[in-house]
Copies of this chain bind each other. A is one copy, B any other.
Amino acid sequence: MPVSTASTRVPQQERSRATQARLLEATVDCLVEHGWSGTTTTVVAARAGVSRGAQLHHYPTKAALVTAAVAHLAERRADELRTEAEALPAGPQRLDRVIDLLGVAFTGPLFVAALELWVAARTDRELRDALVPLEATVGREMHRLTVALLGVDERRPGVREAVQATLDLLRGLGVANLLNDDSARRTALLTTWKRQLATLLTP
């Protein structure tokens, strides 16, 4: 009965995807709220409303779960950034608005959840092995996305370094915002940085 099999398989796949998405969103929420040590697979399953069995089926270990969660959220954030950037004006104002969007991203839940994992992975070999390849991919994607959002040509001398410095600066500002609302200082600092960056990126 190939037709009936196909029609039951699709809803099944959809249910699986929905279950996975619920687990991954719950994982990031948990990392943001309770940190790495407070994030257990049991707490995540309960929060997602998913049975332990279903959770273990999709993500057999905590390392697999949290790594998939950060990959999932990184993709979703990249899509959101692309959509938000489509609404941005061309011209000189564009750079300022792109930096504003990135400033928000580097102080948001994905950054906080990812930082929890980076720090925990330093002293947790299983997590580290799972995270290092992902970190490299997410880092490259973030760089590519920034180049695309800024609409600059990376083959020009200095552009690659300027984009890298921007992302490293934003990472540092994200850490500075962990325990305090650092937004006033960050806004002032990024206002200066936007002017420098405009000079660095102008042919």
- Chain A residues packing against B (C-beta within 8 Å): 33-38, 112, 115-116, 118-124, 128, 131-132, 135, 158, 161, 164-165, 167-176, 178-180, 185, 188-189, 192-193, 196, 200
Contact = CB atoms under 8 A, between A and B. Distances in A.
A135 B200 CA distance: 33
Closest 5 interchain pairs by CB? A172-B172, A171-B172, A35-B123, A168-B172, A161-B192
A9 B55 CA distance: 62
Contacts of A116: 119
Given A115-B175, A161-B189, A175-B175, 19 more contacts: A33-B123, A34-B123, A35-B119, A35-B123, A112-B122, A118-B179, A119-B119, A119-B178, A122-B178, A135-B180, A158-B192, A164-B185, A165-B192, A165-B193, A169-B172, A171-B171, A172-B174, A196-B196, A196-B200
B171 A176 contact: yes
